[in-house]
Amino acid sequence: MIPQIAALDNTGNTTVISTIEVQSQPSKTFKDNNKLIAGTIDGIEAITQTIEHILVTERYAYPIYPDWYGMELEKYKGQSFEYLQAQIEKDLTEALTQDDRILSIEVTDIIKESIDSASVVFNVYSTEGVI
């Protein structure tokens, strides 16, 4: 069953709204310039900033953020490189696609830097283009 929404028109009569129009909001946000607010940004620059913020915010660690915001990086500490290879694309996708401007993630390379560090190279496909 499709839910119906009733509303009052200008005359006070109840009418049923049968169609709902979804509109995207602009992605304009404040520019974070080394911990200082420096104007506003929009488009691909705003999405890039959002990605950076999500990646440096540990998920579930800060009560100010909702449970869906951030990346679970702590779980990789002490794990094998093979575990990282198996999990990282799924975790990046889960963290970043919470933003409706981000469509998908593609990990292109995972490089073992040392015994306790690795670099992950990935593309983000967004509504504004590839990052």
Residue 7 has which token pair?
A: 């509303």
Q: Which residue has the higher pLDDT, 68 or 1?
A: 68
Residue 102 has which token pair?
A: 């981000």
pLDDT in tens, 88-122: 999 999 999 999 899 999 999 999 999 888 999 99
Mean pLDDT across the stretch 66-70? 91
For the question of whether the overall pTM of this predicted structure is more than 0.85, the answer is no
In DSSP terms, which residues pair with 106 in a beta bridge? 123
pLDDT in tens, 7-54: 666 776 777 666 667 666 667 777 877 778 878 888 899 899 899 999
Q: How far apart are CA 82 and CA 85, in angstroms?
A: 5
Secondary structure string (H, E, C) spanning the chain = CCCCEEEECCCCCEEEECCCCCCCCCCCEEEEECCEEEEEECCHHHHHHHHHHHHHCECCCCCCCCCCCCECCHHHCCCCHHHHHHHHHHHHHHHHCCCCCEEEEEEEEEEEEECCEEEEEEEEEECCEEC
Tell me what pLDDT residue 122 has. Answer: 95
Q: How far apart are the first and last CA of the chain?
A: 40
Q: How far is CA 66 from CA 58, 63, 70, 88, 121, in A?
A: 11, 7, 9, 21, 27
Dihedral sign, Cα of residue 35, residue 69, residue 39, residue 105: positive
